[in-house]
Structure 1
Amino acid sequence: MTEYVPKERLARALRGEQIDRMPAISVTQTGTVEQMEACGAFWPEANNDAKKMAALAEAGHTVVGFEAVRVPFDITAEAEFFGCEIKEGTKEQQPSVVGHVVKSVEDIEKLKGYNLDYGRIGVVCEAIKLLADKYGDKLPIMGSMIGPFSLAQHINGDDWFMAIFTDESFGLALMEFTTEFNVAYAKKMVENGADTMVIIDPTASAQLIGAEFYEKFVVPYHKIICDVMHELNVPVVLHICGDTTQGLALMESSGVDAISIDQNVDVETAVSKVKKAIIVGNLDPVNMLWNQTPEKIREQSQKIIDAGVGLLAPGCGIVSKTPTVNLQAMIEVARNHKY
């Protein structure tokens, strides 16, 4: 069988085509303290400086062994871009959104006319360009962004969950705005060299808001992003936190190529719930990857593969204190899985 370079191997895997072996990747954040110490690029600076961001993303490949590079490391850049107050992270902790900027349709109008060259959005795109220039011919270049539903929640605050139930016109207006931004941002990442798009939409859960509201406020907007990316020949991976078992068919209906599931989802059940989407996951990032031994991680990784997962990966973002040897144990099992 043909031996593929990592870029082609992942692309074929996401298209459901035959490959020689499983790609060794993470679709969720990859930064760890050990990588920071190895490459000299630390959070929080690596969240704000393109060269340091690219260096830390590169360490996921050169230090750990992932067969892809991926930026950014958090999901607050988009909210910060629109003026939300951000609590800056530390070397071990990611930043978080603590202030919000939209309460009405009028507030949405004030946010239009933005320029994607500025702020951390511009930094992420510049980092992608640096990575693509160096690795774009052989490694997948993953661009990642918060999804439109969770971005709406970041911008509007906790009122968002009540808004979609009580003020549909406002809710749909905000979803249209955030989706237009997501499309523009994704296209800019692709222009800079991203060849795989990851949507992290943690609060867009059918379990959380119900299937009816998920179908109205999430599916059409994810589909818009997917359609644009597919026009550019870019596959889309969707990650939503929590037990998404009952929502997997709805998630797939948006046209995503792969669905990343967290540790609360049974892999065999997940595979049975979708028709074409590749299931990605779902090693527990805390109880397994951070806190177990390489031997236990290899054992659990094999169980996940045996259950039918399409791509072995962490079930959510990698904890910053995760030992490199633990990640390498997962990678070893993936690389050894032949088709």
Structure 2
Amino acid sequence: MTEYNPKERLARALTGQPVDRMPAICVTQTGTVEQMEACGAFWPEANSDAEKMAALAEAGHTVVGFEAVRVPFDITAEAEFFGCEIKEGTKEQQPSVVGHVVKTIEDIEKLKDYDMSEGRINVVCDAIKLLADKYASDLPIMGSMIGPFSLAQHINGDDWFMAIMTNEKFGLALMDFVTDFNVAYAQKMVENGADTMVIIDPTASYQLIGAEFYEKFVVPFHRRIVDAMHEMDVPVVLHVCGDTTKGLSLMETCGVDAISVDQNVDAAAAVSKVEKAVIVGNLDPVNMLWNKTPEAIKEESKKILDAGIGLLAPGCGTVSKTPTENLQAMIEMAKNHTY
């Protein structure tokens, strides 16, 4: 069989084409303290400085061995862009959203005149360009963003889950607004060199909101992003936290190329629930990758691979204190796996 470079291999794997072996990648956040120390780019500065962001993303490849580079490392830049209050992270902890800006449809209207050349979202795009200028011919350049449902929650706050159930007009208006932004942001990332798009939508959970609300408030909006990316020949990976087993078939209807599942999902069950989507995952980032030995990680990786997983990867974002050797154990298992 033809031997592919990492860029070709991942593109083929995500679109259901034959490959020589499994790509060794991580679709969720990749930054760790050991990488920061190796490359000299540390959080929180690496979340807001394009050169440091690119350097830390590059360390995921040069220090750890992932066959892709990926930015950013957190999911708060989009909410910050719209004026939400952000609690700054530390060298070991990511930033978080602590203040919200939208309560009414009128509040949404006030946010519509935005400039995508401003804020951290522009920093992410600049980092992508730096990475693409260096690696675009050989490595996948992954752009990632928070998905529209979770962005709506960041903007609206804890009222969001009640809002979709009691105020459909407001809920759909906010979803329309954030999805338009998501599409424009994704397109800008691609224009700067991203060739793979990852949607991280942690609270867009079938388990949390049920089939009716997922079908109304999530699927059509994910589909708009996927369609826009497919028009640019960019495959899309969707990650939703929690036990998504019962919702996987519905999640797939938005047209995503791959679905990343977390450690609460049985890998074999996940594979059985989808028709075409590649299932990505799902090593426990805390109880396995952070806290176990390389030997234990290889053993657990084999179980997941034997279950038919499409791409071996962490089940959620990499914990910042994860040892490099533990990530390399997972990478080794992926590289040695043929379909």
Question: TM over 0.5: same fold?
Answer: yes
The aligned amino acid for 1:181 is F
For the residues of structure 2 that align with 1:244 and 1:94, how far apart are their CA atoms? 24
Secondary structure of 1:259 counterpart: strand
Aligned residue runs from structure 1 range 218-297, under 5 A? 218-297=218-297
Tell me the CA shift for residue 87 of structure 1. 0.1
Tell me the CA shift for residue 338 of structure 1. 1.9
Other-structure match for 1:34: 34
Q: Find runs of 4+ consecutive structure 1 residues off by over 2 angstroms.
A: none
Task: Give the alignment's TM-score, normalised by structure 1.
Answer: 1.00
Other-structure match for 2:67: 67
Secondary structure of 2:321 counterpart: coil
For the residues of structure 1 that align with 2:114 and 2:27, how far apart are their CA atoms? 28
Task: State whether structure 2 residue 58 is matched by structure 1 residue 58.
Answer: yes
Tell me the CA shift for residue 293 of structure 1. 0.1
Q: Deviations over 1:71-108 (max 9, x none)?
A: 00000000000000000000000000000000000000
Other-structure match for 1:119: 119
Q: Deviations over 1:211-239 (max 9, x none)?
A: 00000000000000000100000000000
Tell me the CA shift for residue 25 of structure 1. 0.2
For the residues of structure 1 that align with 2:290 and 2:206, how far apart are their CA atoms? 28
Secondary structure of 1:159 counterpart: helix
Other-structure match for 1:21: 21
Unaligned runs of 5+ in 1: none
Tell me the CA shift for residue 61 of structure 1. 0.0
Secondary structure of 1:56 counterpart: helix
For the residues of structure 1 that align with 2:139 and 2:116, how far apart are their CA atoms? 25
Other-structure match for 1:80: 80
Q: Deviations over 1:225-270 (max 9, x none)?
A: 0001000000000000000000001110000000000000001110
RMSD, matched Cα = 0.4
Other-structure match for 1:176: 176
Tell me the CA shift for residue 202 of structure 1. 0.2
Other-structure match for 1:138: 138
For the residues of structure 1 that align with 2:210 and 2:335, how far apart are their CA atoms? 38
Tell me the CA shift for residue 191 of structure 1. 0.1
Q: Percentage identity across aligned positions? A: 83
For the residues of structure 2 that align with 1:114 and 1:4, how far apart are their CA atoms? 41
Tell me the CA shift for residue 335 of structure 1. 0.3
Other-structure match for 1:90: 90
Q: Deviations over 1:106-154 (max 9, x none)?
A: 0000001211111000000000000000000000000000000000000
Task: Give the alignment's TM-score, normalised by structure 2.
Answer: 1.00
For the residues of structure 1 that align with 2:329 and 2:284, how far apart are their CA atoms? 14
The aligned amino acid for 1:87 is K
